[in-house]
Amino acid sequence: MTAQIIRWPGGEHAFRLALAELETIQQKTDCGPEFLLHRINAAQWKAADLFEIIRNGLIGGGMPPVEAVKLVRNAFEMHPLIGFKVPAAEVLASCLYGPPDDPVGEPIPVEPTPEDEKTAAGSSAPITD
């Protein structure tokens, strides 16, 4: 999966969580990614949850670890914590479920087959006045 550009209180950066970053988050938060996402969405998060997701997402997105720590620490000192909730959830959800604009199914509509047209025509009730 490619990195996703996400706006957060520290700016607009590429975020990605690969297996190594997920393992680090699990160790630091003592829970799995889906449980952690639920905890965030249920308003039961901890500051460290948001910090670790953002920090590791930046690292997975290509930022050097030392730079990521510095950027996240500065952002956490300058902005209210609640501002990190949605971006952290977005980073984690993107890892678990894919990017939000990732299309599902066929890229173009599938043309109806003659059998589909017969079924559709035969299943409609006649209109009466």
Strand partners, 12: 7
pLDDT of residue 99: 76
Rounded CA separation 78/57 (Å): 20
Mean pLDDT of 104-117: 61
pLDDT at 129 over 80: no
Rounded CA separation 123/110 (Å): 21
pTM: 0.77
Beta strands in the chain (DSSP E): 4-8, 11-15
Mean pLDDT of 64-70: 97
| pLDDT per position as a tens digit, 69-80 | 999 999 999 999
Strand partners, 6: 13
Tell which wins on pLDDT, 102 or 46: 46
Quote the Cα angle for 49-55-56, to 5°. 90
Average pLDDT score over the chain: 87
Q: Place 126 in a pLDDT band, splitting at 50, 70 and 90.
A: low
Tell which wins on pLDDT, 16 or 112: 16
Q: Percentages helix, strand, coil for the chain, rounded to the nearest 5? A: 60, 10, 35
pLDDT at 95 over 60: yes
Tell me which H or E stretch contains 24. Answer: helix 19-29
Mean pLDDT of 97-115: 65
